[in-house]
Structure 1
Amino acid sequence: MYRLLKAALFSAALLFTHLTFAQSAQFPLVKGFGGIYEVPDATERPDPTLEYKIMVDMSTGADDPKQISRWVDNVARLMNLHGLAGVPQENMHVKVVVHGGAIFTILNNEEYQKRYQVDNPNLPVYQALKDAGVDIYVCGQSMRARSLSKSDISPLIEIAHSALTTITTYVPQGYTLLKF
């Protein structure tokens, strides 16, 4: 009888532990993308009273052009991680400059279809990022180097003179630079 009780208590403890960690992804600031999870034991967390100024230098291309780029989704995760920690959306000042191999993530559906035979899976993520207040730029130099024109890119994206000058404009203004 004691063995059965001990086994039952052990099983109940395992089930409780599993239920504690088996949670659904959360999307506090960027709806539907960049799902993140609460980590109740975390002792280091973003300070919800701070203003966050973040410049994302995105140059890494997608692993599979038929799937959302993990780097685009990572911007959504960045936002959502801060939001889950209690940082209000108005305290998040995020700018993304896309260049290099990542430039194809900002193509409009027509141009993306020509290259990959699918709609651009990144555009809904970029829309959700814009809705969350993220400014997204494409490097004009990268566009020229790849013979892309304004009509080839999504209207969600603003054209910058260059990634280099966008970064050197915002970093001196206190933006933290992240490289994706």
Structure 2
Amino acid sequence: MLWFQYSLGHKYSLSYETATAKDFFPPTASLSTIFSLHFEPNLIYMNRLVKVAFFCAVFFTAQFSFAQSAQHPIVKEYGGIYEVPEATEMPDGSLDYYILVDMTTAATDDAEISRWVDNVARMMNLHGIAGVTKERMHVKVVVHGGAIFTLLNNEAYQKQFKVDNPNIAVYKALEAAGAEILVCGQSLRARNLKKENLYEGVNVALSAMTTVTTYAPKGYTVLKF
């Protein structure tokens, strides 16, 4: 409700939404009175709308400016990572990196890419975004334990989980980036699996343990996934 007091002594209590100009302004009301009562509130309201719209535009522009698209400098399409301009600790682009990933953790959702398989791609891409070239990344992944099922070919994976294996594409991308994928031969035997049950490209190691004991003395950093 709006209250107006005119010099003529008229006092009105009207609904702004339903009242007409005739209701608001008696015949004796001056043009300046009409403008001050009718147009000024609208101008104030519009001014507030403009301020709110400007604030929203600035807010969302700032949000988008901080958002980044994931990058894949070494392993294409997988293991997306982000630049961190304020980082002071970075990989050294002049070094060769020798890394052995000891992967045992099973996927949490067999219909989705295992976060641990994708993490190998992330690890390689994190070095890449810091300037380490693909040629300086020497990566081996030895898979055993519950993670062994991520290596199954689609036929075997379908029998086990009723879906195609989503991890094969990630392993193929890792291989294209220079990584070698190994499976523990002991884990294969323990689960009654054969090499023919795995996707094409996997190499068989005698065991995961001996793979670690062989490459750690050669200077490989061992990462446990």
Length-normalised TM-score, structure 1: 0.92
Structure 2: runs of 5 or more not aligned: 1-47
Q: Displacement of 1:4 after TM fit? A: 9.7
Question: 1:106 and 2:151 equivalent?
Answer: yes
Structure 1: runs of 5 or more not aligned: none
Q: Displacement of 1:16 after TM fit? A: 4.8
Which among 122, 134, 139 is matched to residue 77 of structure 1? 122
- Percent of aligned positions that are identical: 63
Question: 1:116 and 2:161 equivalent?
Answer: yes
Q: Displacement of 1:95 after TM fit? A: 0.5
CA deviations over 1:102-159 (Å, ceiling 9, x no partner): 0000001100000001110000000000000001100000000000011111112100
How many correspondences in the alignment? 180
SS at match of 1:169: helix
In 2, the alpha carbon distance for the partners of 1:138 and 1:103 equals 7
Look up the equivalent residue of 1:140 and give its one-letter code.
G
- Could you list the structure 1 runs, at least 4 aligned residues long, displaced by more than 3 angstroms after superposition: 3-17
In 2, the alpha carbon distance for the partners of 1:17 and 1:132 equals 35
Q: Displacement of 1:49 after TM fit? A: 0.8
Question: 1:143 and 2:188 equivalent?
Answer: yes
In 1, the alpha carbon distance for the partners of 2:54 and 2:81 equals 31
In 2, the alpha carbon distance for the partners of 1:168 and 1:58 equals 15
Look up the equivalent residue of 1:138 and give its one-letter code.
V
Corresponding position of 1:93: 138
SS at match of 1:55: strand
Look up the equivalent residue of 1:42 and give its one-letter code.
A
Q: Displacement of 1:15 after TM fit? A: 4.0
Q: Over aligned residues, Cα RMSD in angstroms?
A: 2.0
SS at match of 2:212: helix
In 1, the alpha carbon distance for the partners of 2:75 and 2:126 equals 10
Superposed counterparts of 1:10-25, under 5 Å: 14-25=59-70
Question: 1:37 and 2:82 equivalent?
Answer: yes
Look up the equivalent residue of 1:67 and give its one-letter code.
E
CA deviations over 1:11-65 (Å, ceiling 9, x no partner): 6664454233211111110011001111111111111111111000000000000
Most deviating of 11-20 and 30-39: 11-20
Corresponding position of 1:129: 174
In 2, the alpha carbon distance for the partners of 1:65 and 1:89 equals 30
CA deviations over 1:67-103 (Å, ceiling 9, x no partner): 0000000000001111111100000001000000000
Corresponding position of 2:42: none
Length-normalised TM-score, structure 2: 0.75
Which among 170, 177, 180 is matched to residue 222 of structure 2? 177
In 1, the alpha carbon distance for the partners of 2:213 and 2:51 equals 63
Question: 1:51 and 2:96 equivalent?
Answer: yes
